[in-house]
Structure 1
Amino acid sequence: MNKAEIKNPHWIYPGDVIMLDYVNGKPRLKIGKSVGSTGNGRLQPKVYSEAVQQIVPSIPPNAIEPFLSQPLVIEPGAHDNIARIIASQEDRVFMGSGDTAYVTGIPDTSVVNWNIFRPGKALKDPDTGEVLGHEAFFLGNARLLEPGEPASVKITIAKQEIGRGDRLLPTPLAEIVAYVPHRPEQDVSGKIIAIYGGANEGGTSSVITINRGTHDAFEVGHVVALYRNRLSIGYDEKGKRVSTPIPEERYALAFIFRVFDRVSYALVVQSEKSVMIGDSLRNP
């Protein structure tokens, strides 16, 4: 309807003023003259740029996507109440993709898809010694073939070897997490209690476990700063061991991407030195 006024829509440029009016009751578009334009009412394409101060680096999706749907923390005492592999096809010691496993704790077909994991070490609060949960190492996925005692499942994906005693949890529904990095609105604090994968030290892109969760007002998207408190160990003139406190040093930023009741997982997005278990964290 506007070919007479705008002969080619590819010739509409940034800066043009497009006017909509009515002629004889019919809508009509036309290009008007913009401020500072040339005589033909058209600005030429230009590139506009401005400096952007990026305080928090962008989050690489592939660094945290595997953690968003996999079981990571099992509440204390919950291991005995979930499904468990009790036998394997042809009495194999370990199983992989395509193998059949026999599981106790799946009486019906209400859940078809399952995550397989292996209970890991206890996660303890370094200040109180309380067990906050048990880390769970993701092993793969399984699909229910036949319920019962035992039920039979087919292993569809095996990230590691799967064997007797490994546990199963229902696969959670896919969830789109809108993780927007932001400062905590109130004062928060905590400590690093583990580095995922069993490492003693980490760095940028490492996943760390924190002894705080939703119970302590932590939420997905919080950005926290990591601090190191350490002692300098030496000896005096008499050979006596002396510990000298070193001033606290901020050295990294971490982004919290998954939160449980008493435990959270964070990705180290920026670090000037090695991340170590026992380091503290709080508002940036």
Structure 2
Amino acid sequence: MSRFARLPLVPTSTWFVAVSLGLGAAASAWATNYPITPGQRSTAQQVAQNGVPLSELSPNAPDSYTVKRGDTLWDISKLFLKSPWRWPELWGMNMEDIRNPHLIYPGQILYLDKSGDRARLRTAKPIGDDKLSPRVRAEPLPDDAIASVPMHLIGPFLNDAVVLDSNTLATAPRVVATQEGRVIVSKGENAYVRGDLSAARNWQLFREPKPLVDPTSGEVLGFEARFVGAAEFTRAGETRTLPDGTNEIVPSTITITSLREEAAVGDRLSPTPARDVEAFAPHAPGAAMSGRIIAVYGDGLNAGQNQIVSLNKGARDGIERGHVLALWRAGTSRVDNTEGKREVIRLPDERHGMLFVFRVFEKVSYALILNVKDPVGAGDLFTQP
């Protein structure tokens, strides 16, 4: 089972910032009804008082910015901050006008308010600034909210990337035959399954799980079930007794509704879980942290920007959903012969990218590569940013 931490989301001035998962009206309804916890309110009050030091602003931070459709909070924060994951510290707020702390919309104008040595981002015009004319939407559209990070990249993996504590899929229902004896099954076609399908109508298909091995300790941290696609249960199987007294097994029928790759005999089934809409936002770990990349998700040996990797740290190690982590390139060995003798030296590790953790299991987590200079592979190091 995965374990998620509900993280405080920090508001803006008239409307407030957080996460909409791009799920249309359903996401909007979730955000509208999401409660403000005492911890969130306390964090918001501190942010309202403090802001962010001017030294943390990007050298080219604009005085104002109009939110556009397709923006993310991460994109906007990169315009204003050297460290985008520190965006909660940037947003100003109005405690008298808390109506919905989780949404920000296209068309809103954000103003950079600098007071003394601190800065805040507001949706209201800074006091005394007659050059700016705010155009804040009075009645935002219900399905317009922007996401905190690029949800189109990680959305498909919120439920599909699964790590099991043991190889429990070994006893799960399995595809035993395909329509007309085909080797593979395509969308809209039927496949035939043995096993108990009474638990659900909608199912996910997985390829044989592979162990995730810690590159440092060698410990098996879990079993990654590779997502194949989704199917709908359409007809129950049965066992018939023939006239001669023997039994004839008729498997159940499923219809393939979507595929990430072609389904085949031997694939295992698991009930489709409820859609993941747990709130999260980018933030740095509260303490020092380090670990290694286990593998690139899928078949690749190396990964680049916008690809998914598994990490050898999970909830037991303090990893939280929303953590931003730094990627490091290991220093290479060189020979120093500048003083007439040959000495082997090791160059220091170099930071060369960033990760965003979006799914956390007990011993393993998954992260999106936000940016990177060189290819990323198993064994590469990550730390707090």
- Counterparts of 2:215 and 2:171, CA distance in 1: 27
**Does 1:56 pair with 2:146?**
no
Residues 235, 146 of structure 1: alpha-carbon distance in 2 compared, 3 angstrom cutoff? farther
- Counterparts of 2:161 and 2:368, CA distance in 1: 17
1:216 deviates by: 1.3
CA-to-aligned-CA distance 1:194-232 (integer Å, 9 cap, x gap): 112222222221211101111211111011111222432
Paired residues for 1:86-235 under 5 Å: 86-108=176-198, 110-148=199-237, 150-232=251-333
* Aligned-partner SS, 2:80: coil
1:115 deviates by: 0.7
1:176 deviates by: 1.4
Residues 242, 151 of structure 1: alpha-carbon distance in 2 compared, 3 angstrom cutoff? farther
Tell me if structure 1 keeps the 8 A contact 2:167–2:223. no
- Counterparts of 1:60 and 1:81, CA distance in 2: 36
The two structures have a TM-score, normalised by structure 2, of 0.55
1:107 deviates by: 4.6
Residues 99, 151 of structure 1: alpha-carbon distance in 2 compared, 3 angstrom cutoff? same
The two structures have a TM-score, normalised by structure 1, of 0.73
Tell me if structure 2 keeps the 8 A contact 1:84–1:168. yes
- Counterparts of 1:234 and 1:113, CA distance in 2: 60
Which residue pairs with 1:35 in the alignment? Answer: none
1:247 deviates by: 0.9
Residues 56, 198 of structure 1: alpha-carbon distance in 2 compared, 3 angstrom cutoff? farther
Letter of the 2:310 counterpart:
T
* Aligned-partner SS, 2:170: helix
1:242 deviates by: 8.3
Quick one: percent identity of the two aligned structures? Answer: 39
* Aligned-partner SS, 2:275: coil
Give the alignment partner of residue 264 of structure 1, picking from 365, 368, 373: 365
Give the alignment partner of residue 158 of structure 2, picking from 68, 73, 96: 68
Q: Structure 2 regions of 5+ residues with no counterpart?
A: 1-62, 66-78, 86-147, 239-250
Name the structure with the higher helix share.
2
Please say which of residues 205-214 and 113-122 is displaced more in the overlay.
113-122
Residues 77, 261 of structure 1: alpha-carbon distance in 2 compared, 3 angstrom cutoff? same
- Counterparts of 1:254 and 1:152, CA distance in 2: 41
Give the alignment partner of residue 77 of structure 1, picking from 167, 176, 194: 167
Tell me if structure 2 keeps the 8 A contact 1:190–1:281. yes
1:137 deviates by: 2.3
- Counterparts of 2:203 and 2:344, CA distance in 1: 51
1:234 deviates by: 6.2
* Aligned-partner SS, 2:187: coil
Letter of the 1:53 counterpart:
L
Q: Structure 1 regions of 5+ residues with no counterpart?
A: 1-47
Name the structure with the higher strand share.
1
Residues 270, 147 of structure 1: alpha-carbon distance in 2 compared, 3 angstrom cutoff? same
- Counterparts of 2:348 and 2:295, CA distance in 1: 23
Letter of the 1:138 counterpart:
F
